[in-house]
Structure 1
Amino acid sequence: MRTPVAMTLGLVLAPCGLLLNLISTLAPGWRLVKGFLDQPVDVVLLQGLWDLCREQSSRERACGQTDEWGYFAAQPVQVARGLMVTSLAINGLGLLLAALGVRCWREEPHFALAGLSGVVLFVAGLFSLIPVSWYTHYLGDRDVLPAPASPVTLEASYSLVLGYLGSCLLLLGGFSLALSFAPWCAELCSRGRKAPPAGLRRSSISTVYVDWPEPALTPAIKYYSEGQHRPPPADRGAPSKPKVGFPMPRPPPKAYTNPMDVLDGEQEKAAPSQGTSSRSTRPCQSSLPCDSDL
């Protein structure tokens, strides 16, 4: 398995942030003081957390200057010393956890350990960003950070810029490594779904089978053979079920019937005509008119 992009980005940004914070902590360049009345014009004083350096024309530099104004006793300087050192220690711990968690030489990294290292690196970025921001806020306040009176000017120096960059890189790198918690949480959720507790298992809808009755078709289509209606194959040989109900009356046939007796008087007329006619005329036995009458 290739190393995820988020882990690679975190492993690149975190060491860069550590290096920049280390330079910012040790270098005497948090504040630049210049414009001394009793000194040459090109003389500047660099104030850091641990040392004071006098620089002239960018060629001559003398560190270990005497703190005449009580700069190192200021609260922002004391707090910045403790927080910057703490940030460097936490940063080293986070990089150690990241190296053990990512393990690029293995097939799959340890996502939980890599995510934990991201959280540690993010905290290290916060510990370095707080003192840098606090120092910048009181940079021009001579009551909080002592400095010579005007017309001496106070400016931010390179150590503050490196401190901001290092803190931002640590925050970004820690956030990238903390994204490793997502695969780890997804794996835990999948394990929980595959193996639920035996007492809480519920029946699944997919295991319920419904035996729907087969729809009845027209006997002429399904059971008509050899000129007869036959029972379904499943019903052959089975005892016939008793019929329930009562017979309906059959309607009378629709035939023509004459309510009048059309043979009325034919019997008397047929007797005298028997001697004179050679044709035998027998009365019709039907209720319809005879052919001779028609």
Structure 2
Amino acid sequence: MMHTPASMVMGIVFAPLGLALVFTAAITPQWREGQARLSMAGSGFLLRVGAKGQGVGSKSRSVEALLLLRSDGLWESCMQVEHSELKQCWPVAGPYQRDPRVRLAQGLVLTSLFLSGIGIVLACIGVRCWTDLPLRGVAASGGLLVVSAGLLSLTALGVYTHNLKRLGMDPSQGMANHRSAQLSLHAAGSLYFGWLGSFLQLLGGSALLFSFKRPRCPTCPSRPEQTICPACRSCPEITTKTDMDVYEVSC
């Protein structure tokens, strides 16, 4: 069995883990969170939150305010009443959906996932643990795609984080701005998953890039011009050794 370079092992481990974390961040609606206190005027206030047209009503006479928790992702937004099971999620819409920075983040994340998937497939083909010699060029090309994917996802996360409190703010709609201003928005869990996944992609892809550099093979003592590789075993000193010994000094 051939000795797989440590850089390839590191790349094969970290690249899929980074892809899984970025994918988790992409599909979850916790890129940013905010909370707003809703005053309940009058004793006959009726709150309706439901899915598919099914309303859930509750009258309150003693409670003066409700704390609403709002979360937004790239493709989904949610609203929940604190300390309650009342929750509703819906596809992003309105000024937030039309915001060019949100659209840019969506495109970059989708491209990152695609490149990372292709890069991991190439890396797996290039490592080829079932043969004597790995396809170093193929593995390194996969690493290059994974690094590119990590940079794209980092760019998307950076753009979103930098403009987090301004996303979806339409200056032409004063009422919407007034309502949005009541939310104390901050970064949420999905962003942290994305940051961690992106760094793991960069780490795994960079490790695979070392596959471009072919290590030096030891030379045969009796033939200095002859290198010792599994594909060339003409050195008299190693002809009597086992295959395992040959592979341990192989390149």
- Which category of TM-score, normalised to the shorter sequence, fits these structures? 0.5 to 0.7
Cα separation, partners in 2 of 1:11 and 1:144, compared to 1, 3 Å: farther
Provide the residue aligned with 1:154 in structure 2. 185
The counterpart of 2:212, out of the listed 161, 165, 181, is 181
Quote how far apart the aligned CAs of 1:61 are. 2.7
1:33 is displaced (CA, Å) by 1.9
User: Structure 1 regions of 5+ residues with no counterpart?
Assistant: 188-193, 195-294
Larger Rg: 1
Aligned residues: 187
Q: Deviations over 1:165-209 (max 9, x none)?
A: 11100000000000011117x68xxxxxx7xxxxxxxxxxxxxxx
Q: Decide whether the 8 Å contact of 1:52 with 1:63 is kept in 2.
A: yes
What is the CA-CA distance between 1:6 and the residue it aligns to?
A: 0.7
Identity in percent? 35
Determine if contact 2:13/2:204 at 8 Å carries over to the other structure. Answer: yes
Match of 2:75 among 50, 54, 71: 50
The one of the two structures with greater contact order (alpha-carbon pairs below 8 A, sep at least 6) is 2
SS class of match (2:181): coil
Correspondent of 2:132 among 103, 107, 130: 107
Which of 150, 153, 160 is the aligned partner of 1:135? 160
- Give per-residue Cα distances to partners, 1:83-131, cap 9 Å, x unaligned: 1111111011001100100011112211111111111100010111101
Q: Which runs of 5+ in 2 are unaligned?
A: 41-64, 171-175, 218-224, 226-251
Q: Distance in 1 between matches of 2:29 and 2:167?
A: 18
In structure 2, relative to structure 1, the CA distance for the partners of 1:4 and 1:155 (3 Å cut) is same
Judged with a 3 Å threshold, the aligned counterparts in structure 2 of structure 1 residues 142 and 77 are, in CA distance, closer, same or farther, namely closer
What amino acid is the match of 1:9? M
Note the C-alpha offset of 1:142: 5.7
SS in structure 1 at match of 2:95: coil
| Secondary structure at the counterpart of residue 17 of structure 1 | helix
Root-mean-square deviation over aligned CA pairs: 2.4
The answer as to whether partners of 1:75 and 1:144 remain within 8 angstroms in 2 is no
Q: How far apart in 2 are the matches of 1:170 and 1:23?
A: 14
Deviating above 6 A after TM superposition, structure 1's stretches of 4 or more consecutive aligned residues are none
- Give 1 or 2: higher strand fraction: 2
TM-score w.r.t. structure 1 length?
0.58
TM-score (norm 2): 0.68
Q: 1:70 deviation in Å? A: 1.3
